[in-house]
Structures are given as structure tokens and as C-alpha cells.
Structure 1
């Protein structure tokens, strides 16, 4: 009987702590994009390479009042039609305090990335026909929840997908307008 009462009290305590401290996932949004270089080349073996340099202004918001986030091993890269067109860039560790907003502005790209012919053809067609390119900014890494008083969680994998459409004319480089209002990114923890 004593053991049952002890288990019920422990369950009520755990439920109360969870209700008070339950962490909500961080929110991400892309607010600006710039393309400084976008070239396609063919190697001597016939492989296609895309070399690009892009920069995105990314805002992340911690909606929690009692829980902060610690990001580790963050990497960012850009995909087009589910194929990477930039090398993964390693971002520094980030501590995200409660009820705060942090801006990230990673520069992605550099050396050439091998891609399928469909990717190059699709990019060129969308630029020429629509002057709009659909890209996906991806962030991956580890997330740790921290509370000042009660708990510190283990590390969880975080996967952020930001789908965006940018107005991109052939030959135009620099700041690109995002089409539509910036939508929140999908966050999986």
C-alpha cells in the first residue's frame, strides 16, 4: 500500500514538473537571402558540379519562459530538389536563452558539389522561365534543453527545414527578394 501511494505521488510530481517546464521547440524563420556566386561546370569525366556562395539571415526564437537551449554540432547546407548544392558549413555552438531571439547569418558554399543533370537543368529552367528558384535551407545538429532549477536533458538531434522561393534572374548576384512572407521553418527534434 505504501509503495502504491509513493508511486502515485511520484507520478503526480513528475506530471506537475512536466506541465510547468515542458519545453516547446525553437522556431526558425529565414528573413533574407543573398547569392554571391552560382556557377555550373562539367569535369573532364563528365560529372556536373555546382559551385555557389550563398548567405541567409535566419532568425530563431525560443518561446519558453523556463527552458533554454544549447545547440551543438550545427551544420547548414542548401538543397535544390532534395539534392545538396552547397557543402555543409559548421556553425559555432549557440546558447539560446529563455524568451529570446537570435539571428544567424551563415555563408554557405565554396568548392563545387557534384549534382545530377536534372538539378542543373532545373535551376537553369526556373531561372530562365520563372525567374524564381525554390531552395531549402537545412540545419542539423544537437539540441539540449536546460532549466535553471529542475532538469537538464540529454542531447537530441534537431533537423530544421526552411523552404523558400527567391526571385533570381540570370546574371544577377547579391541580395535576392524572398517571395511571399517568410514562413516558419519545419523543426524536428
Structure 2
């Protein structure tokens, strides 16, 4: 790469002249000018290296940039357990069993999931967070199923028809050959309408089960 300028004292050709003239006798002036030329060459070389590295990184990023995984609610069951007290009063506790499927759409990247935890809300009432889910390694273009069991923190008069919201939070990394990316925050939100399967008969037995009626919607956010 050459630097072209109209100023003869700052041209690359003048740099070589400076070296020859320096040997001929104008030592002070041309020695200073030679150092300036060396700094200029070093700056050009460093700039070229930086541009080359940035171009290579951009090409690798555009080639290997992974797409976010796709999640969907596979199944969900809400069970209302009715407990009778000594004073003939009763309380209802909600238990949600949800299963989600995750799809890795990338052809050259493995998805690594860590620190996954599920939570949910039913009819706008939050449920207690479930136990942490085990780490998961999902190969390229592979599918995986995540299961979560969630229970209400306190008894409540649960409605027999409501919206169920399931949330998965954790960390996501990408693995391409031997290279592993940094950790990204993963958040998945799924919504499904839930209706009882047989409320009247099962309520007499002490519990009522309801299953999600699809379609459901899931949104995935990777930061």
C-alpha cells in the first residue's frame, strides 16, 4: 500500500532520498525526516493489519452467525388439587406440568444451555419457580424437550378457564468446532389457553385436570 501526496517532503520517494542525502552530509535534517518516514510506514502497516483482521472477523461472523433457537409449547396440564379442612372449608392448589420443545436451526453450530429455570402464571397469578433444569447440549439442527413441574405457592380459588404463561430463563452459548462463544441471556415466553377437561366430575374426586388448547405462542429473546 503506498501513500501518494503532492508534498515532495512527505512522499515515499522522498523518504529514500532522505536516506541517501543523509549519507551525503545533511545528517541532522534528513535523519529527523527519515524517522518521520519510518513512523509513517509503521502506521500504514498497522492500519492495514487492523483492516485485514476486521474484515476476517466480519466474514467469519456473517458466515457462522447462529440464529436463535425456536421454542414451542408441546403440552401443558394444569391440575387443581382440592383439600378439605376440618371446618368443612376447602382450598385449591394448582400444579402445572409443561413440556416445551426447542429446535436449533443452525447447520454448523451446537447450542449449549445452562442455568435453565422455569416459572409460570395461571390467570395472572404467579406460580412458584420449578427446580433448575439440567444443562443441555443441542446438536446442529436438532430438537430437544424441556419439562417443568410448577406449583402454586399458596392456595387460591383458581378459575376453570384461563391463560397459562410459561417462562424459561437461562444462558445460551454457541459451539462451532472447537470455538465456544460467550454466554448470552436466554428468555422464552409461551402463552396457551387452558380449559378444564371434565371439571364437574373430577371436582367431586378432589382434583380437576385441564389441558392446553392450541395454538400456543412462544417468543424467544437472546441478548
TM exceeds 0.5? yes
Give 5+ residue unaligned stretches, structure 2. 1-43, 85-90
CA contact (8 A) 1:142 1:157 kept: yes
- The structure with the largest helix share of the pair is 2
CA contact (8 A) 2:121 2:127 kept: yes
- Give the alignment of 1:25-36 within 5 angstroms: 25-36=68-79
**What's the secondary structure of 1:90's corresponding residue?**
coil
Q: 183, 186, 189: which is aligned to 2:219? A: 186
Aligned to 1:12: 55
The one-character-per-residue Cα deviations of 1:18-60 (angstroms, maximum 9, x if unpaired) are: 011101111110021112334599xxxxxxx863222112110
- Give the alignment of 1:55-66 within 5 angstroms: 55-66=97-108
The one-character-per-residue Cα deviations of 1:111-154 (angstroms, maximum 9, x if unpaired) are: x5148xxxx56x42xx2xxxx310110111111111114x3112
Q: Distance in 1 between matches of 2:65 and 2:124?
A: 33
Q: Extract structure 1 runs of 4+ deviating beyond 6 A.
A: none
- The alpha-carbon distance between structure 1 residues 173 and 82, as it changes in their structure 2 partners (threshold 3 A), is closer
- The structure with the largest strand share of the pair is 1
CA contact (8 A) 2:193 2:216 kept: no
**What's the secondary structure of 1:8's corresponding residue?**
helix
Q: TM-score, normalised by structure 1?
A: 0.76
- Offset of residue 168 of structure 1: 2.3
Q: 145, 148, 151: which is aligned to 2:174? A: 145
Q: Distance in 1 between matches of 2:67 and 2:176?
A: 13
Q: Distance in 1 between matches of 2:127 and 2:82?
A: 11
Counting matched residue pairs gives 167
CA contact (8 A) 2:196 2:209 kept: no
RMSD value, Cα: 2.6
Ranked by relative contact order (alpha carbons within 8 Å, sequence separation 6 or more), the top structure is 1
Matched, 1:136 2:173: no
Matched, 1:2 2:2: no
- The alpha-carbon distance between structure 1 residues 79 and 50, as it changes in their structure 2 partners (threshold 3 A), is farther
Bigger Rg over Cα: 2
CA contact (8 A) 2:80 2:92 kept: no
Aligned to 1:46: none
Q: Distance in 2 between matches of 1:76 and 1:6?
A: 47
CA contact (8 A) 1:134 1:166 kept: yes
Aligned to 2:153: 113
Aligned to 1:164: 192
CA contact (8 A) 1:77 1:137 kept: yes
CA contact (8 A) 2:121 2:165 kept: yes
Matched, 1:21 2:64: yes
